[in-house]
Amino acid sequence: MKKFILHIVIFGTIVLGLTFVADYVISKNLRKSTTRMLIGWNEIYSGNLCNEIVIMGSSKAWVQYSPQILDSILGIDSYNLGIDGSPINRQIIKYDTYRRFNAKPKIIIQDINMWAMGIRSGYEREQFFPYFSDDSLRTEISKYEKFGIFEKYFPVYRYIGYIDLILAGFGKKVLQDKIILKKGYFGSDAIWDGSKLAKQTEINYTQNSLALSLFDKYLAKAKLENIKVIFVYAPQYIEATKKIKNIEGMYAMYDSIAQKYNIPILDYNYDPISYDTIYFYNATHLNRKGAELFSAKLAHDIDSLGILK
């Protein structure tokens, strides 16, 4: 009986050791990936970013704010921290991770919109898997993502069901991605599609109390660290803006926050760009042509604020 138990212990130890090795290999190789979902995190964890301006937001950030154009006009170095499908709770986690591994920026360009002050979980949760060795990230993201005990603490378990990540981690598959990010930005050449907008009669803006509390702490910290913040309403197609229910309430919400922290607001909701579908691929996202025109306008408007001087 003792011999049998010994064999079980030895076998279990070997299996556990192999899972640690597998987890290390998969995660290490994924942290070299250049796919849209992972490249931003990988560049953050490289610790090599040193940007005077960072751009914060969801997909409305990473497809609409071009760091290359901002850099060329303003003569600075910027980086787009936009995170797809993610309101402020995830945005702040990405920013906090950026701050732990990279230099402090001078300015934060914060995209604000009808959905920013919400809380989201679940969407592309696998983007965090390769970085679970970072206790701080795992702890923070676990406040919102429903990771089980085994996912959080048992090696390789979280990758079960994500066969593409496993194969890529072992070098058996190359993760294909047509979306190539440069400094966190992607200019989309997709053509206009207004079908989703046509089905909507009204659009509600989000005003989650937890999100607002997180946002307030994030802005308070920026002020304490003497980091300037600029709020920006990026252009969206005017017919979408017209469908926002109680848009005055949304403006009042952001105005009160801006006044509290003396933050300037640049509003492009009614900019000429917003009236022409030639600049959009859907009602809330600019295509490459629109994004680059907007980024140039934004750069000149930021310059006129005198913040960089």
Question: pLDDT of 94-120, one tens digit each?
Answer: 999 999 999 999 999 999 999 999 999
Cα separation of 107 and 52, whole Å?
6
Q: What is the pLDDT of residue 302?
A: 97
Based on the number of CB atoms within 10 Å of its own CB, is 249 exposed (0-12), middle (13-18) or buried (19 or more)?
Answer: exposed
pLDDT in tens, 4-55: 676 576 656 776 678 999 999 999 999 999 999 999 999 999 999 999 999 9
pLDDT given for residue 173 in this prediction: 87
pLDDT value of position 9: 63
Determine the pLDDT at residue 174: 82
Residues of the chain with pLDDT under 70: 1-4, 6-7, 9-12, 15-16
Q: What is the pLDDT of residue 15?
A: 67
As assigned by CATH, the class of the 2-305 domain is alpha beta
Q: How many CB atoms lie within 10 A of CB 42?
A: 16
> Residue 244: phi, psi to the nearest 5?
-70, 120
Backbone angles phi, psi at 78, to 5 degrees: -120, 165
The torsion of the CA quartet 81, 94, 224, 260, rounded to 10 degrees, works out to 70
pLDDT at 308: 85
Query: What length does the chain have?
Result: 309
Report yes or no: 13 and 19 within 8 Å, Cβ to Cβ: no
54 neighbors 40 (Cβ within 8 angstroms): no
pLDDT for res 178 = 78
CA distance 39 to 221: 27
- The CA distance from 294 to 307, in Å, is 19
Identify residue 147 by its one-letter amino acid code. Answer: F
Token digits of residue 25: 């290999």
Taking alpha carbons only, the member of 142, 134, 144, 106 closest to residue 47 is 134
Measured CA to CA, the distance from residue 28 to residue 168 in angstroms comes to 11
Look-up of token digits 């006044």? 259
